[in-house]
Amino acid sequence: MADLKPPNPSGPLPEGSQAGFRDDSEAKAGVATSEEKSGSALAANNAENRALGLKGIGIPAFGGKFRSIQIFLTEVQAEFKKISWPTRRQVIVETVVVIFVCAILTGLVVAYDWFFTLAANKIFYGQ
């Protein structure tokens, strides 16, 4: 299994370097391979790191069975910060457009229903 390495956010890499690192020393320094950590140890370590990061956002640290709930709520809070909320004007304009389109489609359905009812009555009942 290939080693997972963090991406390098500081720009393009020099030729010959490993992906995500400037040189081999960075690739070897502090990066545990998949052989060094088992899957369950990685999961526990990730949960621990996420729980430790909660102190700065005002969520008290829980232990035991509540840790997964705490991690979930922290991740929800982080995702809410990424949302691009619409402005009041956008909401009003888009609501008016939806109501207008619904009214047009309702009118079309009523018109088709009326037309086909008249046609069926003429054909089947001669009225």
Distance, CA of 45 to CA of 18 (rounded, Å): 25
Distances (CA, A) of 51 to 10, 25, 58, 69: 28, 30, 12, 11
- In whole angstroms, what is the distance from residue 122 CA to residue 15 CA? 81
* Res 21 pLDDT > 60: no
Q: What is the pTM of this model?
A: 0.40
Report pLDDT digits (tens) over 49-103. Answer: 555 555 555 555 666 778 888 899 999 999 999 999 999 999 999 999 999 999 9
Query: Distance (Å, rounded) from C-alpha 38 to C-alpha 33?
Result: 9
CB 47 within 8 A of CB 61: no
pLDDT band at 126 (very low <50, low <70, confident <90, very high): confident
Give whichever of 15-19, 43-47, 90-94 has the largest mean pLDDT.
90-94
Q: Is the confidence at residue 26, as pLDDT, over 50?
A: no
